[in-house]
């Protein structure tokens, strides 16, 4: 190779290296800038809510109620599709826990779900408190459609028996109910249209990293988020389990929706029911209470312990709440002028909705942050190996990064505090590295949610994208459950 050729080859290599240096360092800087601004905005949003939680703790309302307890029979709606593995055990536990209560369990199944039908039929035949409802259409439809079938069956029973139910309780096919749950509902439904109790995930030791992040998130959401909304009298989203609604409130929703209280075209019909009840100005309350045995009255249930199932479940939540929920609910003032709220309370309600709907934006910020870290690491390697020149950080960027680090430290401390409250400090320590797992699942779920929402818009069809459940009969024996029961 001649010297001229060698010089030309070296020039091309130098040019390509310079181009790569510009791309890597420039992209890393821009990604980190975008992520830092996004983290700042979301962090300030969380910090403001934390301040609101601390401020409202001083004015915590009394647990006393001025109205007499709600009397009458309770209906429990248990929608089911492909739940043969868990539903029989759940029904046995529930009937045993609520022995002597004036209650009837409506179990919603499908004609093409033979496994579930065969699994529950012996129980249905033996206990008059169980009512099997088989829909006319093959499944899966949607959970809202299944619940509406149960609502129709309830109405048929009322007409046939010349009676009227007092309230409807919502539970899933894998739940562990509390013996004092119905008594709590009776106490607070006398002056509220809806009552929600804490939901505590049961997590097996083998699923501590994937399933454990649900425990961290629910501990904070049901220890702070719903508590603040309840104290401020804001619309309260239903969790779909551990939730009771007066029959009158559901009848009001049914009148608006042509006879069906639950939306059939929603992936999160439970969330929407709670928000619409709040839009009507009806009372809703989140209640943390201690049972007669000294344990907390909560609804316990299993959550996914593998990545695919967790992404699938969270994608349904994001698509239903942050994307389709925007279409169905709008913003306060879009249903009717003011929605019965003053200007200040309307803006407060909009802020709460924004927090519910920010998941896709938060996932985008997280993606930019992790991508920026990877590209920045490549840039550091280039500086060491290829002599690249680092992009200088200005004083403003340094200050932004330092402030974000303090916000992150505060965020992790708050998360650990609520996890410790439910599960102890050993699990609280694991909540910190589990935050990375939660972030990865959130990013994957946001991507799937956008695709799911796009398919919903194109096809006009909504299908029950349910999570597979496993037998959790032995769940109360693991570490998470023992702490949750205290």
| pLDDT tens, per residue, the chain with 486 residues | 555 454 444 444 454 565 566 566 667 778 888 999 999 999 999 999 999 999 988 755 556 677 889 999 999 999 999 999 999 999 999 999 999 999 999 999 999 999 999 999 999 999 999 999 999 999 899 999 999 999 999 999 999 999 999 999 999 999 999 999 999 999 999 999 999 999 999 988 888 899 999 999 999 999 999 999 999 999 999 999 999 999 999 999 999 888 999 999 999 999 999 999 988 889 999 999 998 888 999 999 999 999 999 999 999 999 999 999 888 888 876 555 545 566 778 889 999 999 999 999 999 999 999 998 888 887 777 766 666 666 667 788 889 999 999 999 999 999 999 999 999 999 999 999 999 999 999 999 999 999 999 999 888 888 777 777 776 554 444 444 444 444
- pLDDT for res 333: 64
Residue 116 lies in a domain: yes
H-type helices in 257-318, by residue range? 269-279, 307-318
- pLDDT for res 358: 95
Residue 257 lies in a domain: yes
Q: Kind of pairing, strands 243-246 and 299-302?
A: unpaired
In degrees rounded to 5, what are phi and psi of residue 129? -80, -10
CATH number assigned to the domain comprising residue 285: 3.90.550.10
**Burial label, 236 (beta-carbon count in 10 A; 0-12, 13-18, 19+):** buried
Residue 210 lies in a domain: yes
- Residue 120 CB-half CA count within 13 A: 32
Residue 177 lies in a domain: yes
Residue 400 lies in a domain: no
Any idea what DSSP says for residue 428? Answer: H
Residue 25 lies in a domain: no
Residue 214 lies in a domain: yes
Structure tokens at 183: 């008594």
H-type helices in 190-342, by residue range? 212-220, 226-232, 247-256, 269-279, 307-318, 324-329
Residue 251 lies in a domain: yes
In whole angstroms, give the CA distance from residue 467 to residue 464. Answer: 9
**Domain range for 271:** 74-306
**pTM check: above 0.85:** yes
Domain tally for the chain? Answer: 1
Please answer whether residues 130 and 78 qualify as being in contact, where contact means their C-beta atoms are separated by less than 8 angstroms: no
């Amino acid at each position: 190779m001649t010297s001229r050729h060698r010089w030309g080859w070296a020039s091309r290599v130098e040019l390509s290296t310079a181009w790569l240096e510009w791309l890597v360092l420039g992209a890393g800087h821009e990604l980190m800038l975008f992520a830092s601004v996004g983290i700042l905005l979301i962090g300030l949003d969380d910090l403001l809510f934390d301040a609101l939680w601390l401020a409202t703790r001083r004015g915590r309302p009394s647990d006393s109620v001025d109205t007499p307890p709600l009397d009458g029979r309770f209906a429990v709606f248990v929608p089911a599709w492909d739940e043969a593995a868990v539903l029989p055990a759940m029904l046995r536990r529930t009937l045993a826990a609520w022995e002597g209560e004036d209650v009837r369990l409506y179990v919603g199944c499908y004609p093409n779900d033979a496994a579930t039908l065969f699994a529950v039929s012996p129980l249905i035949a033996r206990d008059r408190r169980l009512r099997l409802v088989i829909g006319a259409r093959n499944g899966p439809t949607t959970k809202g459609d299944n619940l509406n079938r149960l609502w129709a069956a309830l109405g048929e029973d009322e007409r046939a028996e010349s009676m009227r139910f007092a309230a409807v309780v919502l539970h899933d096919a894998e739940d562990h109910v509390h013996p004092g749950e119905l008594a709590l509902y009776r106490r607070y439904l006398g002056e509220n249209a809806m009552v929600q109790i804490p939901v505590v995930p049961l997590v097996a030791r083998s699923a501590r990293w994937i399933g454990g992040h649900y425990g961290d998130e629910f501990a904070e959401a049901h220890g702070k988020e719903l508590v603040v909304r309840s104290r401020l009298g804001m619309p309260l989203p239903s969790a779909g389990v551990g939730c009771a609604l007066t029959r009158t409130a559901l009848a009001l929703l049914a009148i608006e929706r042509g006879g069906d209280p639950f939306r059939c075209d929603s992936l999160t019909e439970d969330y929407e029911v709670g928000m619409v009840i709040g839009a009507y100005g009806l009372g809703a309350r989140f209640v943390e209470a201690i049972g007669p045995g000294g344990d907390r009255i909560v609804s316990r249930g299993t959550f996914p312990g593998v990545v695919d199932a967790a992404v699938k479940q969270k994608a349904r939540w994001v698509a239903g709440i942050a994307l389709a929920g925007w279409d169905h609910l709008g913003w306060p003032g879009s249903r009717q002028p003011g929605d019965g709220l003053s200007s200040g309370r309307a803006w407060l309600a909009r802020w709460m909705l924004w927090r519910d709907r920010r998941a896709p934006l938060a996932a985008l910020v997280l993606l930019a942050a992790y991508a920026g870290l990877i590209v920045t690491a490549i840039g550091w390697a280039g500086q060491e190996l290829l002599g690249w020149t680092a992009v200088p950080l200005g004083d403003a960027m340094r200050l932004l990064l330092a402030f974000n680090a303090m916000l992150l430290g505060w965020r992790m401390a708050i998360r650990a505090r609520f996890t410790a409250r439910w599960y102890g400090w050993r699990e609280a320590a694991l909540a910190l590295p589990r935050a990375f797992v939660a972030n990865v699942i959130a990013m994957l779920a946001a991507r799937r949610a956008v695709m799911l929402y796009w398919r919903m818009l194109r096809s006009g069809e909504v299908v029950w994208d349910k999570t597979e459940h496993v037998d959790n009969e032995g769940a109360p024996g693991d570490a998470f459950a023992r702490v949750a029961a205290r």
